[in-house]
Amino acid sequence: MVDFGTHDGVRIERDGALLRVTLANPQARNAQSPATWRRLAAIPDLLTPDVRAVILSGEGVSFSAGLDRRMLTPEGIPGEESLLSLATYDGPRMEDFIRAAQGAFTWWRQVPQITVALVQGHAIGAGFQLALACDILIVADDAKLAMRETSLGLVPDLGGTAPLVSRVGYNRALEICARGRYVEADEAVRLGIAIDHVHAEDWDDYVEAFLAPIVAALPGAVSELKALLDGAGTSPDQLARERAAQMRRLVELRALMTGGG
């Protein structure tokens, strides 16, 4: 195990072919701040080709309670920009702030590694969006997922809207977000938000078995598949993308079988 340390409420560890990312501020139910987002956004720098999967979890009783509510007070968080003061600036400055925050959420689907979120307890707002950012979401029996932004006069803006709609459809996504209600474990699986619900104490064995065939496969095949499926719903010519991906796979397989000749 290689420990990259715990900074800004995020612990990062390398465990063989896995990179483990843990939200590690349980006293605040892993509430998120701009410092949290900067730390998360820097993780792709650690993703060497021999890292095959990234596992995201939260320490304590909740995955993440979402935005640190101090960000919505005039005082804000020491050393950080309050959202209320940010609203006094011009459009480009507000946009730059939100774009930087989004950088902590968007890369989970873009990197070649499989990313897996393990969610227990509450995943609210930014917490729900962070879990949705991953390729795979697995919930514990006590999971409660919610988009509560409208109750604060806001909207989800950290990349969570597209993956939610792609998993549950527009009507259900609108209902979940507009009402701000909790989606519990059974419903999360039924709707397709999560692939399974598992007792939290069984996560290690479950994840090991789940990832075993992924880690055993050739890295290029898994990364090509991930990119292929991710764009399947929006590509104007998915068949062409399949052809191009398979051609790259055949070239790599031949090189492996012939020693590069």
Domain identity same for 148 and 246: no
Domain identity same for 20 and 80: yes
Q: How many CB atoms lie within 10 A of CB 238?
A: 14
Residues pairing with 2 in the sheet: 14
Respond yes or no: is residue 149 known to be catalytic.
yes
Domain identity same for 163 and 225: no
Distance, CA of 58 to CA of 132 (rounded, Å): 14
Domain that holds residue 175: 2-215
Domain identity same for 56 and 180: yes
CB 105 within 8 A of CB 148: no
Tell me which residue has tokens 């999360």.
188
Residue 32 DSSP class: B
Q: What is the DSSP string of 116-128?
A: EEEE-SEEETHHH
Domain identity same for 112 and 231: no
Domain identity same for 228 and 184: no
Q: What is the DSSP string of 35-102?
A: HHHHHHHTGGGG--TT--EEEEEESSS-SB--B-GGGGSSS-STTS--HHHHTTS-HHHHHHHHHHHH
Domain identity same for 7 and 24: yes
pLDDT one-digit tens code per residue, 157-169:
999 999 999 999 9
Q: Read off the amino acid at residue 253.
A: L
Domain identity same for 176 and 205: yes
Domain identity same for 159 and 232: no
Domain identity same for 227 and 180: no
Decide which of 215, 233, 248 is a domain's last residue: 215
Structure confidence at residue 261 (pLDDT): 58
The kind and range of the H/E element at 10 are strand 10-15
> Distances from the Cα of 78 to the Cαs of 64, 70, 97, in angstroms?
21, 10, 17
Domain identity same for 137 and 54: yes
pLDDT beneath 50, residues of the chain: none
Exactly one of 13, 59, 81, 149 is catalytic; which is it?
A: 149
Distance, CA of 209 to CA of 204 (rounded, Å): 9
Domain count, the chain: 2
CATH number at residue 191: 3.90.226.10
Domain identity same for 194 and 243: no
